[in-house]
Amino acid sequence: MKTILTGIRANSVLTLGNYLGAMLPMVKLANKYSKEGCNVNIFVPDLHSIISEVDGDLRENILRTIKYYLAAGLEVNENVHIYRQSYVPAHSELCWILNCNTTMGEASRMTQYKEKSEGKASSNVGIFDYPVLMAADILLYSAEYVPLGEDQFQHIELTRNIAERFNNKYGEVFVVPVSTKEQVEFMGVEKPIRIRDLVNPEKKMSKSTASENAKIMLDDEPLKATKKIMSATTDSFEDIEFDFETRPGISNLLYIEALATGVPLSEVVQKWQGISRYGDLKKQVANTVSELLVEFQRRMTEISDDEVLRLLSEGEKYANEVANAKLLEVQKAVGLR
């Protein structure tokens, strides 16, 4: 039985980028594959959260993040497992063993580490070790498919390298996740998804960007989100074309429209191509996003903490069983047991 696994950190309210780039695609895959008998693991990497500042109360953020999945349409059945990383101690334990099988060079090359530590006199060791813990999250459950946004793809490659090296040294212990190319195919998209910053579309939309207008948060008033889209940076060409290289702002809006409506990107592009009224496209996208937020925020109010806690307690029982069995295999392979 194949395993699909993914996680989103719970540091704050999520952005539309997290939602369209990772949460919605995962929910669609989860609903499809769990019914076909695959395991679907959705977890909150709460230990990854504390590498940087947490906005508000972490415990509340964790429950809210699980509610996001449910509000996004996740259908829970016996193959869907929802858990918190810190409730499964095997993650930290395996991370240590993987640390001893990861080179400083590999970990130092991770773009996210470089970006997060750039310009800082000193940054914490957790930021550096973050991708190795992520590898442990994946390898403990023998997950082959790990749906993620573009910024996380380098960490899949690292996970594959660590797993292959470990298997060569100690025997076939880990299932190696499929290549990033196959991950993208599995997600059913042409390229890894990267929703851009609305003010500076060269960058990804990120919760850590200071400018409020650059990002849409999932708890934004729909009217506020509308205004942000209407003022989004476009370009100085005369008509609409989809090309992230030369027209990142307009392409981002087309991409948001496609992902938020579920209409294939090619159809959205075909509809708007050659049209010169950027304002019309902006109005359309603003309307789509506003409707999405109204519906999403309404669904959020219908999910109780009790329901989430019940799912977590079931999921954590399952996760501990699977993770402890794999950890024991690893411990035996390296001679600790």
What backbone phi and psi angles, to 5 degrees, belong to 191? -135, 160
CA distance 201 to 330: 44
Counting contacts by CB under 6 A, is residue 18 touching ligand TYM? yes
Binding pattern for the stretch 131-150 against ligand TYM, x by CB under 6 A and - elsewhere? ---x--xx-------x-xx-
How far CA 231 is from CA of 198, 203, 268, 311, 327, in Å, comes to 8, 17, 21, 40, 51
CA distance 141 to 163: 13
Sheet holding 3-7, edge to edge: 3-7, 39-44, 80-84
How far CA 319 is from CA of 42, 81, 325, in Å, comes to 10, 8, 10
Total residues interacting with ligand TYM, rule: CB under 6 A: 24
Beta carbon of residue 224, minimum distance to ligand TYM (angstroms, whole number): 19
Assess whether 326 carries a catalytic annotation. Answer: no
Beta carbon of residue 24, minimum distance to ligand TYM (angstroms, whole number): 10
The residues near 166 (Cβ < 8 Å, ≥ 6 apart) are 98, 101, 173, 174
Counting contacts by CB under 6 A, is residue 177 touching ligand TYM? no
Site for ligand TYM (CB under 6 A): which residue of 45, 177, 201, 248? 45
Assess whether 332 carries a catalytic annotation. Answer: no
| Residue 144 amino acid letter | E
CA distance 7 to 216: 20
Beta carbon of residue 193, minimum distance to ligand TYM (angstroms, whole number): 5
Q: Which residues in 276-315 contact ligand TYM (CB under 6 A)?
A: none
Site for ligand TYM (CB under 6 A): which residue of 3, 4, 12, 22? 22
Assess whether 204 carries a catalytic annotation. Answer: yes
Catalytic pick from 67, 204, 215, 228? Answer: 204
Beta carbon of residue 69, minimum distance to ligand TYM (angstroms, whole number): 12
Catalytically active residues are: 116, 204, 207
Q: Which stretches of the chain bind ligand TYM, using CB under 6 A?
A: 5-9, 17-18, 21-22, 45, 48, 134, 137-138, 146, 148-149, 151-152, 193-195, 204-205
